[in-house]
Amino acid sequence: MSRPGGQPEQPDGMGDVSWLRPYLLTSGRAQPIDSSLEIEAQVSTAAHHATHQNLSFEHKDIVELCRTTMSVAEIAAMLDLHIGVTRVLVADLAALGYVEVRRPDAAPEQDLSILERVIRGLEAIR
């Protein structure tokens, strides 16, 4: 069955759980501790944090997943999490020292050659 507006009806009393869950994962926060955390930043598990038993499931999943370095966007996709939630969780883990974050070297708005190469690449695939 579906509700008005085409949204599927939730089973027995589930209501809008899907809207509530992301806020539960981040303790109600919508912004990460480090608001400058880019979605392309590379995240890897810190070598000195082999044990992480006291972390929540989502934090554990990120620490395990980042044994292989990947971007914040990739983490979100792999764990099927909203990108904003992923940024909050990754920033928390970085602040606690469980993961290391490597930032992009060049700021795209300051390096015109990168923008020009991107534009040429996009035009080439048309």
Contacts (Cβ under 8 Å, ≥6 apart) of 69: 42, 43, 44, 102
Instruction: Report yes or no on 67 lying in a domain.
Output: yes
pLDDT digits (tens, 9 = 90+) for 100-120: 999 877 555 567 777 788 788
pLDDT digits (tens, 9 = 90+) for 54-72: 788 888 889 999 999 999 9
What pLDDT shows up at residue 52?
64
Question: To the nearest whole percent, how much of the chain has pLDDT over 70?
Answer: 63
Instruction: Report yes or no on 9 lying in a domain.
Output: no
Query: What number of CA atoms fall less than 13 Å from residue 53's CA on the CB side?
Result: 1
Domain limits at 87? Answer: 33-124
pTM over 0.75: no
Instruction: Report yes or no on 14 lying in a domain.
Output: no
Instruction: Report yes or no on 21 lying in a domain.
Output: no
User: What is the CATH classification number for the domain harbouring 73?
Assistant: 1.10.10
Instruction: Report yes or no on 5 lying in a domain.
Output: no
Using 50, 70 and 90 to split pLDDT, how confident is the model at 10? Answer: very low
Number of domains in the chain: 1
Instruction: Report yes or no on 2 lying in a domain.
Output: no
